[in-house]
A and B are shown apart, each in its own frame.
Chain A
Amino acid sequence: MPTINEIASYAQTAAQKLGIQKFDIYGSTVDETSVQVDQGEPQQMKASNRSGITVRVWNDAHTVGVTSTTDVDPIGLQLALKTAHEASAFGVKDNVPDFSPEATAAIAHANATDRSPQAEVSQLLQTLVGAEKELLEAHPAIVGVPYNGLAQRDIDRFYLNSVGALRHEAHSYASLYLYTKTEEEGRKPRSAGAFRVSTGLAKLDINGCLKEAAEKTISHLNYEKVKTGKYRVVFSPEAFLSLLGAFSNLYNAQSILDNQSLSTPESLNTQIASPLLSVCDDALHPDNVGAETFDGEGTPTRRVPLITNGVLTSFLHSAGTAKRMNTEPTGNANMGAKVTVSPNFFHVFPGESASEEYSLDTADNVILIDDLSALHAGVQALQGSFSLPFDGWLIKDGKRISIESATVAGDIREVLNSIIYVEKDLEFTGSGVAPRVWVNELSVTGE
C-alpha cells in the first residue's frame, strides 16, 4: 500500500484534475494472520493484507458525496473521487456534514506507532495446539474445542483532508478464543469458552483463557432445568456490557436526531437509571487494547460521561450531531455517506453508595447470567425490549447450579432503573470494563 503522504499527494493531484476543491479521506490497512486447529492438527490458516479508504467530496453547491474503495493507487483514488463527486449531486441539503472543527486539534501521543512484531505461523500453531491439548486434558467430558482461533493483526489508520489535517496511528493486536464441547453418556452436550485480547502474542493471557474456558465448561457439566418465573438477576460484566451496547441508541445523538432512539434531546440530565450506576465511554481507557486517539472524522477521542449516578449526562456525537445540538463532538464518528456514531469503550462503575451490599457467596435463588447470546435476533432496540438465551447459573445457598437452557426477557429502561447493586471489582471484557450488576427482578423462561 502507498504511504499516507503518497495517498494525500495522489488525492490532491486527482482532485485538481477533477476540479474538486474540498475532500477528506479516512482509511486503514490491515495485515493479519490467524490459525485454527482440530485435535492437534492445523485446520485452517488465514493471512490477509488489505486496505480500504472512504472519500468524501463536497461539490460547488456544498453538498457531499461519498465512495469507498480498496484501490488506493492513483487510478483507484481518482475513480473514487469522481464517483463521490457524482454522488454529491444527491447529497443531503439540510445539515450537510462538514470537516470536524477538531480535525486539526492537538492530540497527546499523536501519530503514535504501537507495534508488536508478528509471530511466525508455526509459533501461532504451536501455541494453539498446546492450548487445545491442555483444554482437552482438563476433563474427560471435554471431547473437542470446535471453535478456536489465534490471530494477530497490525492496523494502520489515517485521516486527512484538503485543508491540511493529517492524522495517523498504528496498533498491533493478538487475540485468542477457545470454546469447548462436552459429551457424556445420557447428558446433553455442553459448551463454554473464553476470549482474550492483547497488544501482541507475548502479552496474551493464554493461561487465563485456558483456565477460564476449562472452569466454565466443568461448571456447566451438571446442569438442571430452571423453573419459569421472576428472578433476581446478576449480570456478569460481559453480559451487562452486551446489553449496554445493544441499546446504545439511548445515548447516540445521531439515533436521537433520526427518531431512532429510546431517548429524545430532552432526555439529557434526566434520571434514566438507578443512582447506583455510572457509565462512561472512554476510548483512551488504559485497559482498551489499541486505543484509537481519533475517530473517522479526525476528531480526538476522549472520556465521555454518559450516565452519572443514574442521570443521562451526555450523548455520543459526531461533528454533525454536535453542531446540530450546539455542543462539541466526542470522537465517536464513523465516516460514511451518512456519518454514524458508536461507542468506543464502556467503563461501568458504581455511582452512589448502595444502602445494601450483596454477595453471590450468600445469595439464594438468584440467577447469575454469564453470557447473553443471539443479541441480533432477540433485541428490539427501538422498543427497548429483549428476550435472549443465556448461559448462567442458579445460585442456591451460595452454590452455583448450571442452567440447562433458558432465556431472560425485559425492558432495558426497567433493567437500568431496577439495579439494586453495582459491585466494585471491575473486569476487562474486550468491549469495556465493568463490574457485576444486580437487577431486582426479571422474567426467565426455563421449563
Chain B
Amino acid sequence: MQAPTLLISKELPSLKYTYAPDRFDETWEAPLSILLGLGRAAGADFIEFFLERVNYISCMAEDDAITSISPRLSTGAGVRVFRGKADCYVSTNDLSFNGLKAALEKGLSIMGLHLPSPNAFIPEIHLELLRDYATKKGKDAWLGNCSSMREMGDVLLSANGELAQKADHVQSRRAVYFRDWQEVLVASSDGTFARDIRLAQSVGYSLLCADGTNRSSISKRSGSTSDPSFLRTWDYKADAEDVSGSAAKMLYADYVESGSYPVIMANQFGGVIFHEACGHLLETTQIERKTTPFADKKGQKIAHENLTAWDEGITSDAFGTIDMDDEGMPAQRTLLIENGVLKNFISDRAGSVRTGHPRTGSGRRQGFTFAAASRMRNTYIAPGEYSIEDLFNSVEKGIYCKKMGGGSVGPTGQFNFAVDEAYLIENGKITKPLKGATLIGEATEIMDKISMCSNDLGLAAGFCGSVSGSIYVTVGQPHIKVDSITVGGR
C-alpha cells in the first residue's frame, strides 16, 4: 500500500474554492479531498460528505380546477464523522468551502476533536475518478424532459374529468402528481467519489364518496424512478375505473366483525405486511437498538418453508431502485429469506461498523438533513407454486384483503395494518365487502403462518418513514395466505 501524501496545513491552497453552481462535478474533488484530509488529521476514523440538490414540484387538481402547483428548490450538505463506533452528523445549507469546513469543524468538536494546527501534516485523500452514474446512464437530460407545469395541469384535469364520469356519489375528487429530481455527490475518506441523479415521480387519485351517512374513501398511486415521460403515459382511465369501482363497493360495506381469521392478501401493495412485519426487523438499525427478534437468527428458520424474500435496488424503474445508495455504494440484490431461512440483513456503513454485517448498498436517506441508515429498497416475497384459486379454495371462512392501507411495527415487533378494501370469504368464494378491518400481530409469529404463495408476483410503489426520513420504496408479493391473524373491527 502506498503511503499517503502529506501536506502541511498552512501550505494548503487559498481555501477559496468555487464550484460549478449548476452541477456537482469533478471540480468538487479538490475542496472535498482537502476537507476529508483535515478531518482525518484531526483524528476522525472516517469522514463522509453528502451533497444534495433538489428540484421538486407537486401539482394537485381538485374536482375541475388546479388548486396547487408548488415548486421547491433546495441545496445542502451533510458531513458524517466516525470515531470508533460512534458517529455524528452535521448538516448545513451553506455549500461554500468555508460553510462545509464549518460543518466539519462542528462535527469534529462534537466528537471531541479539533481541526489541525497550521503546522500540522495533513494526509491527502486520493478520491477515485468520479463515478458518475448520471452521465454514464444519460440522466443529465432527465429534468428537462419531464412534463412542464402546463402539461401537469392538463393531464390532472383530464384525469379528474375521467373520474367524474366513472364514479357515483362523489363528494370530492383529487388527482395529485409530484416530481422529485435529486442530484447527489458522495465523497468519503475511503476514496469514494460518486455522483448520481434520481428522478422519482408519483401520480394518483384520491376519491371520497358519500351517500347519507355511508362514506368510502379510496386512493391509488403509481410511481416511477427513471422515466421523464411517466406522467404523459399515465393510464388514468384504467386507474379511474379501478378507484371508482372500489369506492362503490366499499360505500355500503358492513364493518368487519373482530376476531381471528385466515386471510388472503392481494399481490402488489399487499407486500406492505412483509415490509412492516419483517423487512424493518432485518435492518441493522434494529440490531443496533436491540429491537429485532431476528438479531441472532442468521442461518436459522424464521419463516414458513414456502417463503423466500428479496430486497434489491436493481429492478428497472421500480420505486425503490437506485444505482448507488446515499453512501456511494452500488445497489445490490440481497437475499433476505430463502425457504424460511434467514440469509442476510440490510446494512449501511454504520450498521456494518456496529454489527459486523456487510454493507448491502442500502444506506439511504430522505435528504441532506439526515444521516444515511439501513433502509429497504424493492422488497418482496418471491412467487410460489400455487394458483390464486388454490389459496381461496383452502379458506372456509376468512377475509380477502384486496387493498391495504398503511401500517407500522412497534419496538417489540407488534405490527398493525389498515385494510382499505376487504371482502368476506365463505367456502372459497368472495361474498360481501367489509370495512374497518385492521390486521394485528407479532412479527415472529406471523412469518410462520404465511403458508401459501401464488405465482403472480406484483410490485407497488410506496413511501417508507423511519430514522433517516421518508424514502421511496417498492413493496411486493404474490397473493399469499396467512393461516390465522387477528382482525380488529367493531
A residues with CB within 8 A of B: 1, 33, 38, 41-52, 65-72, 76, 79-80, 83-84, 86-87, 89-94, 121-122, 143-144, 146-147, 179, 181, 188-191, 228, 258-260, 336-338, 373-374, 376-378, 380, 382-385, 387-389, 405, 407, 409-410, 443, 445
Contacts and interface: CB of A to CB of B under 8 A. Distances in A.
B149 A90 contact: yes
A108 B435 CA distance: 50
A338 B68 contact: yes
B66 A66 contact: no
A264 B369 CA distance: 40
Contact of A228 (B93, B110, B112, B259): B259
Interface of B: 58, 60, 62, 65-76, 85-94, 106-107, 109-112, 149-150, 153, 171-172, 208, 215-217, 255, 258-259, 288-291, 350, 369, 371, 405-408, 410-414, 416-418, 435-438, 440, 442, 486-490
B438 A409 contact: yes
Nearest to B54: A70
A121 B88 CA distance: 11
Contact of B411 (A46, A93, A147, A380): A147
B291 A146 contact: yes
Nearest to A46: B89
Given A47-B106, A50-B76, A87-B149, 7 more contacts: A47-B88, A47-B89, A67-B72, A69-B73, A380-B418, A405-B442, A445-B259
B149 A86 contact: yes
A68 B67 CA distance: 17
Interface-central residue, A44, A52, A384, by most chain B CB under 10 Å? A44
A50 to B, nearest CB: 5
A49 B107 CA distance: 12
12 contacts: A41-B86, A44-B89, A45-B89, A67-B71, A71-B75, A90-B66, A188-B442, A336-B70, A373-B410, A385-B255, A388-B438, A407-B488
A337 B489 contact: no
A63 to B, nearest CB: 11
A259 B171 contact: yes
Nearest to A80: B73
Contacts of A66: 69-71
Contacts of B86: 41-45
A188 B412 contact: yes
B288 A83 contact: no
A41 B85 CA distance: 10
- Name the 3 nearest CB pairs between A and B, nearest first: A337-B70, A377-B406, A407-B488
Given A47-B110, A50-B93, A66-B70, A377 B408 contact: yes
Given A47-B106, A191-B412, A260-B208, A387 B436 contact: yes
A388 B440 CA distance: 10
Contacts of A337: 58, 68-70
B411 A146 contact: yes
A378 B217 contact: no
Contact of A45 (B88, B94, B289): B88
A72 B407 CA distance: 38
Nearest to B72: A68
Contacts of B217: 380, 382-383
A190 B488 contact: no
Given A68-B72, A69-B72, A337-B68, A191 B411 contact: yes
Given A42-B86, A45-B89, A377-B408, A409 B149 contact: no
A46 B373 CA distance: 14
Contacts of A90: 66, 69, 149-150, 153
Contacts of A68: 70-74
Contacts of A445: 258-259, 438, 440, 486-489
B73 A92 contact: no
B66 to A, nearest CB: 6
Nearest to B99: A49
B468 to A, nearest CB: 11
Contact of B438 (A47, A179, A407): A407
A407 B94 CA distance: 47
B212 to A, nearest CB: 13
A38 B288 contact: yes
Contacts of A443: 258, 489-490
A373 B440 CA distance: 12
Contacts of A228: 258-259
B93 A70 contact: yes
Contacts of A188: 412, 442
Contacts of A38: 288-289
B73 A79 contact: yes
A67 B71 CA distance: 5
A66 B71 CA distance: 7
Contacts of A48: 90-92, 369
A144 B290 CA distance: 8
B445 to A, nearest CB: 10
A405 B440 contact: yes
Contacts of A190: 412
Nearest to B420: A380
B92 A378 contact: no
